[in-house]
């Protein structure tokens, strides 16, 4: 039994390593977008784009039980991207201030 959970945890660790690499890649692109926004006088926060992204996330999740979690993940990613862009623009706070308290949200896709 313990071997089974060890193997499953190893799979989680491998997946997490891939997620970290993809996160770093995503943040590199978010940085480039932030630079573009600064050069072109565009606002950092784009509500329409974020709404469209969440709609796409809901549409892409094949297991509906995971939809809220996927939305939470992407909300967190978008927030991290905005914070990076704010830091680039000199509007942000470089301090890492995560309190450790969990954030719980529940989202429903539009039209449901």
Q: Domain total for the chain?
A: 1
pLDDT over 70 at 28, yes or no: yes
The token pair that represents 50 in the structure block: 């974020």
Instruction: Please check whether residue 19 lies inside any domain of the structure.
Output: yes
35 falls within a domain: yes
Question: How do residues 5-20 score in pLDDT, each as one tens digit?
Answer: 999 999 999 999 999 9
Look at residue 61 and tell me if it is in a domain: yes
109 is a domain residue: no
Helix, strand, coil percentages (3-state) for the chain, rounded to 5, are 70, 0, 30
What's the CATH code of the domain at 30? 1.20.59.10
Q: Is residue 41 situated within a structural domain?
A: yes
Range of the structural domain that residue 64 is part of: 2-89
d(CA 80, CA 103) in angstroms, rounded, equals 14
Asked whether residue 98 is domain-assigned, the answer is: no
- Condensed to tens digits (0 to 9), the pLDDT of residues 68-80 reads 999 999 999 999 9
Burial class from Cβ neighbours inside 10 Å (0-12, 13-18, 19+) for residue 85 reads: buried
Structure tokens at 100: 């450790």
- Condensed to tens digits (0 to 9), the pLDDT of residues 50-105 reads 999 999 999 999 999 999 999 999 999 999 999 999 999 888 665 545 455 555 55
C-beta separation of 34 from 92 below 8 A: no
Q: Return d(Cα 56, Cα 6) in angstroms, integer.
A: 34
φ/ψ of residue 6, rounded to 5: -65, -45
108 is a domain residue: no
Residue 3's pLDDT is 72
**84 occurs within a structural domain:** yes
First-to-final CA distance of the chain: 41
| pTM for this entry | 0.77
């Amino acid at each position: 039994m313990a071997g089974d959970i060890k193997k499953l945890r190893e799979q989680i660790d491998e997946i997490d390593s891939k997620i970290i690499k993809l996160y770093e890649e995503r943040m590199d692109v978010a940085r480039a977008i932030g630079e573009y926004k600064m050069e072109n006088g565009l606002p950092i926060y784009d509500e329409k784009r974020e709404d469209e992204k969440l709609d796409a996330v809901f549409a892409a999740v094949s297991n509906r039980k995971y939809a809220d979690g996927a939305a939470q993940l992407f909300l967190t990613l978008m927030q991290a991207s905005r914070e990076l862009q704010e830091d680039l623009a000199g509007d942000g706070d470089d301090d890492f201030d995560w309190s450790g308290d969990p954030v719980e949200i529940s989202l429903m896709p539009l039209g449901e």
